Structure 1
C-alpha cells in the first residue's frame, strides 16, 4: 500500500485508476512505495496526475526510491509537518510541474542542495514555513536543477540574513523565473545583481519588508 493513516491503510484500488486523488484533511502519516513489489520501475498508479495530501500529519517525505508516480503533474503537501527536504527528494517525479509545500506546521529547518531537482517543475510554493534562509542548514543551491521554474513563492519566511552573493547563488539556477513572491520576509535591501540575471522576470512581490531605499539599477 502507498498511503497509511494512524489506524489503517488506504486501499490501492481507491486511486489506482484515477488521474486525480484527494486525501486532504485526514490523519495520513506515511507514504510507502508506489511501485510494484516485483518491479520497482512499474508504477502502481500510472495514470495519477493530481495528488492532494494537504492538511495531514506527514512528517517525512518518502525516499525517491520508494515513490513511483511517473505522470504526476501536481503534488499538494500543504500544512503537514515536514521539516526537512533532502537532496533529490522529488527527482523520481519526472512529470511534476506544480509542488505546494506551504504552511508546514513545524516550519522547515533543513533544505539540501538539489532538493527540488526536477527540470519539469514550473511552480513551487513554500510560503509561511518559518524558513531562515541564511541558516547553515538551508543550502543556497536548493533550487539547482529547476531550470524551468517560472513561479517561486517563498513569502512569509526570513530572508534578512542573506547577502547579495547568497541571493545571487540561490536564484542563479532559475533562469526561467517570471513571478517571485518575497513579501513579508524581512528583506532589508533589493538584491539588484541577483534579480538582473533573471531575464524573464515579469513580476516581483516584495511588499511588507524592511527595505528603506531603491538602489541604482533596481
Structure 2
C-alpha cells in the first residue's frame, strides 16, 4: 500500500506492481509464484487449474487424468492415483486406462474385442468404432474416446441404465438426437469435448437427474437456451471452453440449482445482462476470460452471494459500474487483467473485504487511488 502512495503520480499500476515484486519477492510468501528451470518467475495457475510440469501452460483440473496428453508433455496424466484434485473430490477419477494393469476380473459378458474390461468398466479407446457397440447391460463406465462416432441416435444407451460415467471425447460427433441419453437416470459424468457438435436440442439432458459433471469443451456450439439444461437438477460443474457462444440464456442456472462451477473461457460472448446469473445462487467459481464482453450491467452479479472466484480477463470492458461487486462479500479472487479499462471508481472494491487476490495486469489506469485498496484487508497477491 505504501508503494502505491509513493509512486501513484510517477508510474502506472503495472510498473508499480513490477517494482513491488522485484524488491520484495524475497520477503513475502510467494505461494502464488513458481520458479521455472530457466530461473524465471512466472505466475502459478489460478484456482481450478494446474501447471503442465515445467511449462507456463495451465489447464483446468477437469483435464487431469482424463486419458489425454493435453499438456503435450504428459504432465496432466501423472500422479493419477493421488487424492488432491477436483476429480477425486467428486469421485470422477478414472485414470489412464492404457497405463493401468487390468488385474481385476471382468463382469461383462458381452463387449468388442478391441475393448479392455475391468469389473463393470469398459474402455474402448482408439478402436475405430463408428457407433456405440453392443455390450452387457450391467456396464457402469463406458469410455469410447478417440473413435470415429459421428452421431448418437435416439435411445442409444437405453439398455445401460446402470451407467455412471460416459466418455465420448475426441470422436467426430456432429449430431446428438434429443433422446440419445434417454433413461440414464444414474449417470454422473458425461464428457463430450473435442467433437464437432454445433447444436444441442432442448431437453436432451432431461433424464440426467444425477449428472454432476458435464464437459462440452472444444465444440463449435453457437447457441444454448435455458431449456437445454432441463433435468440437470444435480449438475455441479459445467465447462464449455472454446465454443462459439455469442450469448448466454436469460437465466442460465434456472434448471441447474446446484451449479457451483461454470467455465466459459474462450467463447464469443458479447454481453451479459442483469438476469443472466439471477438463479445461480450456488455458484462459487465463474470463469469468463477471453470473450468479447464490452459492458457488464451493475446488477449482473447481485445474486452471486457465494461467489469465491471471478475471472473477467481478456475481454473488452472499458468501464465498470461503481457498485458492480457490492454483493460479492465472499469473493476471494478477482481477475480483470487484459481489459481496456480506462477508469476505476474510488469505491470500486469497497465491498471486497475477503478478497485475497486481485489481478490488474496489462491495464493502464490513470486514476489509481490508494483508498481503492484499503477495504481489502486480506489482499495478499496483486499484479
TM range (shorter): 0.7 to 0.9
CA RMSD, 1 decimal = 2.5
Q: Return the offset for 1:169.
A: 5.0
Offset of residue 90 of structure 1: 0.9
Contact kept, 8 Å, 1:51 with 1:74, in 2: the verdict is: yes
Q: Kindly state the Cα deviation for residue 186 of structure 1 after the two structures are TM-superposed.
A: 1.3
Provide the residue aligned with 1:45 in structure 2: 137
5 Å matches for 1:80-95? Answer: 80-95=171-186
Quick one: distance in 2 between partners of 1:2 and 1:81? 25
Q: 1:64 offset after TM fit, Å? A: 1.1
Aligned partner (choices 210, 224, 244) of residue 120 of structure 1: 210
Structure 1 residues 13, 32: CA separation in 2 closer, same or farther (over 3 Å shift)?
Answer: closer
How high is the TM-score relative to the length of structure 2? 0.46
Specify which of 122, 127, 140 is matched with residue 21 of structure 1.
Answer: 122
Long gaps (5+) in structure 1: 4-9, 35-43
For residues 32 and 208 of structure 1, do their structure 2 counterparts lie closer, same or farther at Cα, with a shift above 3 Å needed? same
Distance 1:94 1:54, change over 3 A: same
Q: Which entry has the higher C-alpha Rg, 1 or 2?
A: 2
How far, CA to CA, are the matches of 1:2 and 1:140 in structure 2? Answer: 39
Give the structure with the higher percent strand.
1
Which segments of structure 1 move beyond 3 Å, counting only runs of 4 or more?
11-15
Q: Shift in Å at residue 159 of structure 1?
A: 1.9
The residue aligned with 2:262 is 180
Pairwise CA distance, 1:29: 0.8
Structure 1 contact 31–62 (Cα < 8 Å) conserved: no
The higher-RCO structure (CA 8 Å, 6+ apart) is 1
Kindly state the Cα deviation for residue 130 of structure 1 after the two structures are TM-superposed.
0.8
- C-alpha change, 1:67 and 1:192, in structure 2 (3 Å) is same
Of the structure 1 ranges 188-197 and 74-83, higher mean CA displacement relative to structure 2 is found in: 188-197
Q: Distance in 2 between matches of 1:12 and 1:80?
A: 16
Contact 1:190 1:211 in 2 (8 A): yes
User: Cα gap change, 1:119/1:57 in structure 2, threshold over 3 Å: closer, same or farther?
Assistant: same
Q: Residue 14 of structure 1: CA displacement?
A: 6.2
Aligned residues: 191
> Structure 1 residues 103, 180: CA separation in 2 closer, same or farther (over 3 Å shift)?
same
Q: Distance in 2 between matches of 1:202 and 1:23?
A: 35
Distance 1:108 1:98, change over 3 A: same
Deviation by residue 1:56-88 (Cα, 9 ceiling, x = unmatched): 100121431664112211100001111122223
2:282 alignment partner in structure 1: 200
Deviation at residue 156 of structure 1 after TM alignment: 0.8
Structure 2 residue matching 1:189: 3-state secondary structure: coil
Which secondary structure does the structure 1 equivalent of 2:122 belong to? strand
Query: Does 1:209 pair with 2:255?
Result: no
Aligned 8 A contact 1:32 1:62 in 2: no
Does the C-alpha gap of structure 1 residues 189 and 101 become closer, same or farther in structure 2, counting only changes over 3 Å? same
Deviation at 1:152, TM superposition (A): 0.7
Instruction: Confirm whether residue 111 of structure 1 aligns to residue 197 of structure 2.
Output: no
Q: Which residue in 2 is equivalent to 1:150?
A: 236
Partners of 2:133 and 2:197 in 1: CA distance: 22
Partner SS, residue 180 of structure 1? strand
Match of 1:6 in 2: none
Tell me, what secondary structure is at the counterpart of 1:141? helix
